[in-house]
A and B are shown apart, each in its own frame.
Chain A
């Protein structure tokens, strides 16, 4: 093997690993993160309290874990930090502020400080006034998607964060990474819950 070849082989190896390194180091830190010592990456302390209260109102603990149990808020903070550009981040900050101001006006306190009854009243009116998502075909919305507003978009992200978590995906939904076969008609009673993947 000549030198040039050796160089190329090294480059090839490096090239094939593209997605891996940054991914795993950070993943570790997120999974290990315990709620008590959580320091948000993007959100301020007050904003983080808002997001935690929001996901807890939406998906509280029942017989199954709640959003806080599976760290949905911690995940959403990461999503804001890592997948939003500066403008979108600024928008999140403004929207949280607006949401809290509305709560103060109507109920006298920011969302996180409201009791469950008041939080539910806020969610109810938000549900009624927020536009909906258009259906999707192959990953993109069909027709012209009007903005759904902050409430519904955060709701949708919270659902994503909750149901794509390891705890829910593996233990509560029906987890079958390698089905091995496709059967088109199976009694639901044989399967139970929704497939997780």
Chain B
């Protein structure tokens, strides 16, 4: 890969500035650069170049001193995000430092952040599902939140556009409420998953069990290799087989010659020009030197991730916007959403002892939403719905800890695969509540002396009712599929565990009740675009990042056409 241009000192003025280099920022950079705009990407973390900066990507457990364990110092560094169970010796260097970047949990909220080039695109689970009009019309239909200013037809071509470049593997199903993507060949289900699929689909007409739709290449694409089934994705992929900014969008942006990347650049605020009535640039703090600098551009894309973009807007005050840029409605920071997480069931599958699988598939199964689709599937207990992720496999030596056995035969028996197990866990849609919010906290400052966020968010009755149904349905499906030793569970995780935080600068039709318009522009400051999770008006029950990609490409296209018309 050609070296990135990181020399942002010579030139303080660009056509476009992109704040953040994660999933959405990478797309903004690619689209704007490819359309000919000189683009500056400001990233608060360090540089992470594809392959070169993936130090653990090929390590086996025994290659690491602690074989995955963390020292108490590193545990402290991740004392908030570590609750996720996802942080270990192989990937802790891709997770943000919680000590340097505090936030306040007014009510419990786990915020998983990644502060480096690529953001969370290095770490994500890559599950990719299109939203549909079931989602875009939900608020209008049941009256929660405000109406989305767009419908499926507005975003449909942009889904196709980003999917063709990102590479999404999956199986078409033709469901109207979970539209098919432009798919690469699907990954395979294993024996037990196929078996349970046939049981569930027979017992429950209208329910489907499919292989997860994931941003993994199952065939080579644009010089990227296909997935080698190592399941070591969150260390970075040497083949570029899964979608990340580092492997996919940033190299494409760089190839245009229009990209400048400045790492260690913490955007503190967006500068509003009172005379021109638009934003003129951004103020940054150099994370290494603490130097404060300004960069200027005609348009600004805010892609720091949902809560961080909102934090920047809240921190961007002026005479015109005393309560934060674009906050005429008072909705900035409000309507925070996530998905509920880790409610489901698991059990043992008898039979298939003579069957096994080869490869470590970085993907599981998906059961699309089947409630509240129409009159027939309507629930009287809650609005909206949920889907399940999960998977099956044979237990390994780890199961030995619970076996009431020890000694030589015990040891040798653990060299053979154990029984088949299968689990499903639900993700439920969360409603947009005005009271679920973030706001600036000037009493708690980060390492650079900047105000931090307080997060005040909780699940309410509708989410609790959805969770109850998830647990009940999960257990029942596994029982009817013939599983044994079924354990059903609800871990009662606080918001944030879904790692799908959304809302806080929502899109809407009315500037009085929303922050962004139908093309992700701040209503009253049209050259500022917010296209990460902050823009979301409702939360659907499917993973959101594919939708951020599509919205970003769509907004970038709009931005450039408006620039050409001299409207910005």
Contacts and interface: CB of A to CB of B under 8 A. Distances in A.
Contacts of B355: 185-188
A166 to B, nearest CB: 4
B400 interface: yes
B188 A182 contact: yes
Given A16-B48, A183-B358, A172 B415 contact: yes
A184 B229 CA distance: 12
A2 B8 CA distance: 11
Interface stretch (B11-19, B65-73, B377-385, B460-468): B65-73
Interface stretch (A32-40, A95-103, A131-139): A131-139
Contacts of A5: 6-7, 9
B69 A63 contact: no
A149 B520 CA distance: 54
A63 B415 CA distance: 12
Interface string B57-91: 01011111111111110010000000011100100
Nearest to B409: A62
A188 B417 contact: yes
A27 B254 CA distance: 38
B415 A182 contact: no
Interface string A137-181: 111101100000000100110011111111001101100111111
B359 interface: yes
B49 interface: yes
B229 A62 contact: no
B411 A62 contact: yes
B63 A19 contact: no
B65 A191 contact: no
A93 interface: no
B170 interface: no
Nearest to B187: A182
Contacts of B411: 58-60, 62, 64, 66, 162
A194 B417 contact: yes
A184 B414 contact: no
Nearest to A63: B412
Contacts of A105: none
A180 B75 CA distance: 34
Contacts of B191: 184-185
A156 B399 CA distance: 9
B193 interface: yes
Contacts of A75: 67
Contact of B491 (A8, A143, A170): A143
Interface size class of A (residues with CB under 8 A): 35 or more
Nearest to B286: A8
Given A64-B415, A165-B62, A20 B55 contact: yes
Given A139-B86, A185-B357, A23 B65 contact: yes
Contacts of A57: 406-407
Given A19-B93, A155-B406, A187-B355, A27 B65 contact: yes
A30 B61 CA distance: 14
B346 A160 contact: no
B55 A17 contact: yes
Q: Size band of the B side of the interface?
A: 35 or more
B214 to A, nearest CB: 12
The residue in B188, B405, B411 that gathers the most chain A C-beta atoms within 10 A of its C-beta is B411
A193 B264 CA distance: 47
B55 A18 contact: yes
Given A16-B52, A57-B406, A159-B401, A169 B60 contact: yes
A164 B64 CA distance: 10
Given A19-B55, A85-B72, A178-B228, A187 B354 contact: yes
Contact of B487 (A2, A59, A142): A142
A184 B60 contact: no
A132 B64 CA distance: 28
Contacts of A166: 60, 62
B208 to A, nearest CB: 18
A178 B86 CA distance: 22
A127 B405 contact: yes
A128 B404 CA distance: 7
B415 A173 contact: yes
Contacts of A194: 394, 396-397, 414-417
Residue from A123, A132, A178 having most chain B Cβ neighbours under 10 A: A178
B412 to A, nearest CB: 6
A178 B189 CA distance: 19
B416 A183 contact: no
Contact of A159 (B63, B188, B359, B400): B400
A142 B342 contact: yes
Contact of B354 (A12, A134, A189): A189
Contacts of A26: 65
Contacts of B409: 62
Contacts of B398: 156, 159-160
Contact of B359 (A9, A17, A79, A182): A182
A140 B346 CA distance: 14
19 contacts: A9-B6, A12-B47, A20-B55, A30-B65, A60-B408, A60-B411, A83-B75, A85-B75, A142-B489, A156-B398, A163-B396, A165-B62, A179-B230, A182-B360, A184-B357, A191-B356, A193-B415, A194-B397, A195-B417
Given A30-B65, A159-B414, A193-B416, 7 more contacts: A18-B93, A79-B69, A140-B84, A183-B359, A184-B189, A184-B191, A194-B414
